[in-house]
Amino acid sequence: MAAQPKKKISRVRGRTRRAHSAVKMVSLSACKHCGHPKPAHLVCNECGFYGGRKVLTTKTDKRISKKLQSDKKAELAKIKKEATKKPAKPKAPSKPKAQKAKPKTDKPSSKSDSKNS
Q: What is the DSSP letter of 10?
A: P
Phi-psi region of 35 (alpha: psi -120 to 50; beta: other; left: phi over 0): left
Q: Are 51 and 41 in contact (CB under 8 A)?
A: no
Cα separation, 117 vs 49, whole angstroms: 84
Q: What is the DSSP letter of 21?
A: G
Question: Among 81, 40, 47, which Cα is nearest to 64's?
Answer: 47
pTM here?
0.42
Q: Are 38 and 44 in contact (CB under 8 A)?
A: yes
pLDDT string in tens for the chain (117-residue length): 889 999 999 999 999 999 999 888 889 999 999 999 999 999 998 889 998 888 888 888 888 888 999 999 899 888 888 888 766 667 777 777 767 767 677 666 655 555 554
